[in-house]
Amino acid sequence: MTPADYLASHSSDLVRLLQQLVRLRTVNPPGENYGEITTLLATTLRDLGLQVRRVPVPRALQKRTQPDLLDHPRYNVIAFWDAGAKKTVHFNAHFDVVPVSGEWKHGSPFSGTVDRGWIYGRGTSDMKGAIASIIFALKALRATGAKPNFNIEVSFTADEETDSTLGTGWVTAHGRLKADYAIVGEGGEGDGVCCGHNGVVWLNVRVHGRAAHGSTPEQGVNALEKMSALVLALDEYKRILAKKTFRTPDGQLRTPTLNIGGVFAPGEGGKINTVPAAASFSIDRRILPVETVAVAERDLRAFLKKAAARIPDCRITIEKVSDNHSCFRDPATPFADALRASVARVRRRPAHFCVSTGFNDMHFFANVLRLPTLGYGPGGQNYHAVDERAKVQDLVEAATIYTDLLTTFAG
């Protein structure tokens, strides 16, 4: 029996594992049930014969970076299969998921219900499905006695849905990894192999006004009105961004984007008959692979300050929320060609290289560790939305692609 045959006949076992993972509510923030899910993952990998470390992030580090979340300790899982090879392929996926809202087709967002070939639940597509596919790829190799051409290293990590600092960021800095190549289980899916992704800068802009009675608004400074003028001024910045371009390997022409006000709020003491003394809004500035976080943030801050200066009585404070670096690697390499060939072979159609509009943890391996890094996983539908789901066939195919790569690529 080949690994592909094993996976085709054990899809129900893969689904059961994913259901276990989905039913553990690892919502971040705050970072629920990290201890429980990493215990399950560590046990599952040990049962497959891997050397496993379930590593707690030092409390002192979490206190510095997440002082409000000390009741939710962070853990990461690192595992190694020594196949006696000269080189090592690393597989990475995160186990945290975003919060839920809305009414779901099957009731609980954490049901893991299977319906017409799809498995539903928060995390199925982003990205516990990839965890299940990685584990079952390893299980198929073990069960069939197929020897991989590489040693295999795995990391299942925390906090990708916030900033990855205590997840993949911590693992790549302190995990004593042995990898020569890396595959992150998202960014690419279907017929697309991801060779890069956008980055992001998140800012919060506070606008300072002066309160007054609603019957005498001329005695105050209306922070909402000033904020509105500043938001309108950002249309000019969008036109500036539209002049920056990047062409992906599959021919798409990308420009940076600016999303304003995903989070916006009044200040304290707001009342219908009070001139608002404060208002705030967020900015999500996506960064192309040919840009840097530092330059993008500097230019955006400078524009905001100049725009505010042109608006009478508009005083602002700009706060950094977070950032994430972009990355891109030329796919004209044997490793990239091998993964694309595996995708094409398993899916029986041509595959191509792509660049993700979102960000993920690829940049830690590509930029920090300087490894040849690609993104590929089972993907799904409705990421971060109601009725998130993954297709069972795609979960099996992703696992099959991993085994195909490990047994055909010579390195």
Q: Which tens digit of pLDDT belongs to each residue from 235-284?
A: 999 999 999 999 999 999 999 999 999 999 998 888 999 999 999 999 99
Q: Which fold has domain 3-197+326-408?
A: Aminopeptidase (3.40.630)
All CATH 3.30.70.360 domain ranges of the chain, comma separated, are: 202-324
When the pLDDT of each residue in the chain is averaged and rounded to a whole number, the result is 97
Burial of 265 (0-12, 13-18, 19+ CB in 10 A): middle
Question: Measured between alpha carbons, how far is 321 from 316 in angstroms, rounded to an integer?
Answer: 16
Percent of the chain past pLDDT 70, that is, above it, reads: 100
Residue 246 main-chain phi, psi, to 5 deg: -150, 130
Place 127 in a pLDDT band, splitting at 50, 70 and 90.
Answer: very high
Average pLDDT over residues 47-71: 97
CATH class of 202-324: alpha beta
Q: Rounded to whole angstroms, how far apart are CA atoms 157 and 154?
A: 10
Q: Does residue 316 surpass a pLDDT of 90? A: yes
Residue 169 has pLDDT above 90, yes or no: yes
Torsions phi, psi for 201 (to 5 deg): -125, 125
Give the integer Cα–Cα distance in Å for 268 and 278.
8
* C-alpha Rg value of the chain to the nearest Å: 23
> Which residue intervals of the chain bear CATH 3.40.630.10?
3-197+326-408
Range 362-365 contact pairs with CB under 8 angstroms and sequence separation of 24 or more: 362/182, 362/184, 362/187, 362/194, 362/196, 362/197, 362/327, 363/197, 363/199, 363/324, 363/325, 363/326, 363/327, 364/164, 364/168, 364/169, 364/171, 364/172, 365/90, 365/92, 365/172, 365/179, 365/182, 365/184
Confidence bin at 295 (pLDDT 50/70/90): very high
Q: What pLDDT does 200 receive?
A: 96
What confidence tier does 177 reach under pLDDT thresholds 50, 70, 90?
very high
Q: Is the pLDDT of residue 77 over 90?
A: yes
> Is residue 355 within 8 Å of residue 194, measured between CB atoms?
yes
Tokens representing residue 168 in the block: 């993949």
Average pLDDT over residues 358-382: 96
In angstroms, the CA 327 to CA 196 distance is 5
Question: Quick one: pLDDT at residue 270?
Answer: 86
Question: Which token pair is 64?
Answer: 């510095």
pTM as predicted: 0.93
Q: Look at phi and psi of residue 98 and say left if phi exceeds 0, alpha if psi is from -120 to 50, else beta.
A: beta
- Taking the C-alpha atoms of residue 36 and residue 39, their distance in angstroms, rounded to an integer, is 5
- Predicted pLDDT at 411: 81
pLDDT at 268: 87
Q: How confident is the model at residue 47 (pLDDT cuts 50, 70, 90)?
A: very high
pLDDT, tens only, 184-229? 999 999 999 999 999 999 999 999 999 999 999 999 999 999 999 9
The three-state secondary structure class of 81 is: strand
- Give the pLDDT score at 63: 97
> What is the pLDDT averaged over residues 389-393?
98
